[in-house]
Structure 1
């Protein structure tokens, strides 16, 4: 089961989602999207919170208010972190998460530490947590099927873009060929015209 929350601090609202337990977190790690950003309390056990970027966005484009919602949601879903002040929440792209043999379900490392960001959370803000909790929905999701559908759509989109590119290249090649033929024809006409002036075919006779 996946828990969904709506962050309505931006327009349009953003969906946040959380694994129900460590086994669901493992599924989220396995079948995440390249557009997903992962949040977790640093060095403490907590929920795994995700937000999905829109096409063309980067991790730096996440609005500050959405970052705060994610950080508060992670803190509120950490047994230890929820009781502590001044904790750090780390976040990074899903593609930076690393699983190695021997790791427990839900446990992850990072491919590149320099691509991990931190947010300092001074204290729990109940107003934010309560607002998010009011939007909570629990749904059963086939994460693998959703990811595979996403990948299939991406492949089709790439094929479409490739077809369009090939068509543009063909049209450009045709245009260049037609222009070359026209230049060749114009040059031929010019040469013929120059030759006719030298052939003694003028209408005036000189003695």
Structure 2
């Protein structure tokens, strides 16, 4: 089971989601999207909360309001973190999550600690948590199939882009050949004109020679 939430409307059309338990978390870790940002309460047990950014966006594009929604949700879904104030929430791109065979189910580390960011949550804001919970939807998605569908669509898009690129290159090649042929034809015409003018000059009689012919 995966729970889906809608971020505050003014932040834009963003989906926030989390797994029911550590087994769902494991599937989310395995089949995440490049646009996913992972949130967790630092040094405490909590839900794994994800924010799915729009394609082409990065962690730097997360607005202050959107960040607050995610941080409040992950704090509210931490048994220990929900009881105390001044909780740190860490977040990082899904691609930075590191999973090894020796780790427990749902446990992760990071490939690069420098890519992990921290935001401080001073206290739980019920208004935010309640608003998010009112948008909550439960689904049982096939996470593997969803990721495979996205990968297939991206492969098809890349193939189309490659075809378009080859088409443009072929058109450019033909245009270059056409321009080269035009330049060659113009050069040929100039050369022929120059030869013809020389021949006329050499074959033509001067005005003095013509007058002598009439005398």
* Same-fold status (TM-score > 0.5): yes
Q: Distance in 2 between matches of 1:50 and 1:11?
A: 16
Q: Distance in 1 between matches of 2:51 and 2:101?
A: 27
Q: Distance in 2 between matches of 1:190 and 1:39?
A: 73
| Alignment deviations for residues 117-152 of structure 1 (CA, whole Å, 9 cap, x no partner) | 111111100000000000101111000000000000
Alignment-derived partner of residue 105 in structure 1: 105
Structure 1 unaligned runs (5+)?
none
| Alignment deviations for residues 34-69 of structure 1 (CA, whole Å, 9 cap, x no partner) | 111101011111001111111221110011101000
Structure 2 unaligned runs (5+)?
210-215
Q: Number of matched residues?
A: 207
Alignment-derived partner of residue 75 in structure 1: 75
CA contact (8 A) 1:10 1:66 kept: no
Alignment-derived partner of residue 60 in structure 1: 60
CA contact (8 A) 2:14 2:53 kept: no
Q: Which structure carries more helix by proportion?
A: 2
Q: Which TM-score applies when normalising by structure 2?
A: 0.93
Q: Distance in 2 between matches of 1:78 and 1:11?
A: 24
CA RMSD in angstroms, aligned pairs only: 1.3
Q: Which TM-score applies when normalising by structure 1?
A: 0.97
Bigger-Rg structure (1/2): 2
Within 5 Å, give how 1:86-105 maps onto structure 2: 86-105=86-105
